[in-house]
Structure 1
């Protein structure tokens, strides 16, 4: 795609493409599928296993092995090859609750990973907003600098003409030329910043920007900062992920304590021996009870307790961080609104001052430097307003992100989103590779790979 594509597009278009083109989202979706299959692995531990075992053994030579030659009647000594076949089924009947608790922990890990995916989605969309407004700001700066160069070009020419008729001095001409050269330099810098902003947009959205349109409206957030913080604590994916991780850690304590309990398993096997031509079947039950493990089980239990404590502390710290982010985003938004109001007043006053100074200069009451200074003040006021508007938009969406609402669904982007439950529902009962559901999963994975 050409880096200078000129198709008109909105912020919604950019957000949609950022969601569809994000490699980071694809990475975290794959990590979620890994967690989904952890559930399948834990579930498989509750099911019986069936194994086929074959063994072939022999000796060369073996003088103790004799056989009669049917043609000569002579006794011959030869090698011995023996093949045995075994079909073995085994199932853990009781394991102190470890297997079932592990399954529950894996399920909670899936839910935590889903929240992590939602958090990444928020990051991707917020980066797209920042990149979008960055391009708009850079383009506005270029327009502003180009207009400034045009004005100063006219001012330089007017000053030169007045010098020719003796109305101003060589110093006035030099000041006009110096300010014009500085404006040209700043214009080139603004163009460079625009190129940088376009590259940042490409990284965030997956393509270069077209002709961007300033968003007409800003999304609704909250009535006040306290309401925003309360909503964030309930809905932010980082907090919900931390809550799930606390549950995982608490289940991990149950798993560790279950290691002290006995394990009971049952076995059924059928055996065939090719040499002796016999078959036999065997049924057995095995009980294993830890008595002394060198303190290892106690150490594992202490680790599980420490993980639980760490997870709880992490939840408290995450909550504080989310509340801080809400407060910071709200403060930046209020500051941007105040800055816009102030710059509007500044622009009006600077415009009046510039027009008056330029008129007075034509009458000889003002110098060329006075006119140039007034022009610079007006330019600075307009540049401040550009910054404030871009900052306001980013601050609004940053507040949404801090509240946990920067998602495709909440923004109503109107596109199909990744279904985190689809793959999980297909694998949670551990389908075998050659089963109908297993073959269906293979097709799903091939489709994901192509996408």
Structure 2
């Protein structure tokens, strides 16, 4: 409907406001540029890589830990007992050195490490959903900025057309005043309307400047003419959209993973009450090259910790209950957001339909009043009022058209599908799994995989 009414009722002036230049930025281009140059996305991608490293560190705790140490000590002593009267004792110096190579391997800890690894993996999945949520926020802000520039541009063009029309009315009133057809009052009314039109144009131009500034902040560059944005592809019904949101929305999926993390942390806390078994070994060499080898098994278990372990278990259970409550609240909030988005879409469509009829009627009324004014049957004030009614109707229609497009993308964000992949943007979509696959086995810094990781991080940091 939006594309049909544009040609029917807006006329040459409004058409100039909404028809895009021959070479203009598209919404897809703006979204792609903003996606590739977003500092917020870079920040959260780095946080995800940090979460990936937590998995590597948890896995590394189950592997042998080998370390070395070396020390040199200087000791002195004074032989005061054997010294002659009136003389000082002779100081003796002794230098001793030693080096130790030790190793330990965790054999059993009641499942603490395994539960910790699983919890970190679930936390990585939750962080990935958080990154997807940030991606939606970035893209939705770009869509909003894009459409607001179009709205402000259309309003400026409407005001310019209105200013030209009122200027013509002022000239006509002056000509008619000179021949005695109207009074000085009619001329003054036209002059007042012209001054008001100039003021309103300045206000709309200020709004356009602000919209461009927001576009630059959201996208990373200034707009270069904006083509008409395509309608978003959304589900046909509210029920279908809410079902999709329950399955795919990053906030819900992130909250689900958070519950999993909390449940694993309960098991991990309970495991701290079990015995821990480790294999240890060491080799020491002193400055006389005397060596000492030692190997053994160490077992330990907390018998009493002042209630600390029991408190940690209760705390983990409380955190689990809180995570479940957050999941329930998040699900309801997402469903409400989807419903609100569809409501906004329905309102915009109804407004377009009503505004279309209003503009058509206002155009007819304005044309008739202006003709009657030429014949002396209407005053200049009547024409100016009709012109203002037509301008208001056109502005309402333009705003409703923008709102309809915006509401479609709000629906996409509400169901979790406002992403670069879902929109098919011409970008290299960030793969959150790639880095995880490189670090999930906790490679050593000197290994081939560790060196490859260094090159990857160096390339990211450029």
The bucket for the TM-score relative to the shorter chain is over 0.9
Equivalence for 1:251: 264
Structure 1 residue 324 and structure 2 residue 330: aligned? no
Equivalence for 1:350: 362
Equivalence for 1:72: none
Matches within 5 A, 1:128-207: 128-207=142-221
Change beyond 3 A, Cα 1:264–1:63 = farther
Residue from 41, 45, 49 that aligns with 1:29: 45
Equivalence for 2:8: none
Residue from 104, 122, 125 that aligns with 1:90: 104
Distance 1:114 1:354 in 2: 57
Residue from 271, 278, 285 that aligns with 1:265: 278
Return the TM-score normalized by structure 2: 0.92
Residue by residue over 1:104-161, the C-alpha shift from the partner in whole angstroms, topping out at 9 and shown as x without a partner, is 0000000000000000111111111000000011111111000000000000010011
The structural deviation recorded for 1:77 is: 7.7
Query: 1:6, 1:210 within 8 Å by CA — same for their partners in 2?
Result: no
The structural deviation recorded for 1:362 is: 1.3
Query: 1:90, 1:268 within 8 Å by CA — same for their partners in 2?
Result: yes
Structure 1 residue 114 and structure 2 residue 108: aligned? no
Structure 1 residue 286 and structure 2 residue 302: aligned? no
Deviates more, 1:407-416 or 1:198-207: 407-416
The structural deviation recorded for 1:61 is: 4.2
Distance 1:327 1:304 in 2: 35
SS in 1 for 2:197: helix
SS in 1 for 2:128: helix
Query: Which stretches in structure 1 are left out of the alignment for 5+ residues?
Result: 65-75
Structure 1 residue 304 and structure 2 residue 342: aligned? no
Distance 1:362 1:417 in 2: 63
Distance 2:339 2:305 in 1: 52
Structure 1 residue 339 and structure 2 residue 355: aligned? no
Distance 2:421 2:428 in 1: 9
Moved beyond 6 Å, runs of 4+ = none
Distance 1:413 1:341 in 2: 32
CA RMSD of aligned residues (A): 1.5
Query: 1:263, 1:287 within 8 Å by CA — same for their partners in 2?
Result: yes
Deviates more, 1:331-340 or 1:52-61: 52-61
The structural deviation recorded for 1:414 is: 2.9
Equivalence for 2:32: 16
Structure 1 residue 236 and structure 2 residue 252: aligned? no
Distance 2:347 2:22 in 1: 34
Return the TM-score normalized by structure 1: 0.94
Query: Which stretches in structure 2 are left out of the alignment for 5+ residues?
Result: 1-20, 81-89
Distance 2:59 2:22 in 1: 54
Residue by residue over 1:323-361, the C-alpha shift from the partner in whole angstroms, topping out at 9 and shown as x without a partner, is 000000000001101111111111100000001111111
The structural deviation recorded for 1:219 is: 2.4
SS in 2 for 1:397: helix
Equivalence for 2:17: none
Equivalence for 2:3: none
Equivalence for 2:237: 224
Matches within 5 A, 1:40-59: 40-59=56-75
Task: Work out the number of aligned pairs and report it.
Answer: 433
The structural deviation recorded for 1:220 is: 1.7
Distance 1:421 1:358 in 2: 67
Query: 2:140, 2:409 within 8 Å by CA — same for their partners in 1?
Result: yes
Distance 1:101 1:377 in 2: 69
The structural deviation recorded for 1:280 is: 1.7
Query: 1:40, 1:428 within 8 Å by CA — same for their partners in 2?
Result: yes
Distance 1:270 1:236 in 2: 56
Equivalence for 2:119: 105
The structural deviation recorded for 1:195 is: 0.6
SS in 2 for 1:131: helix
SS in 2 for 1:8: coil
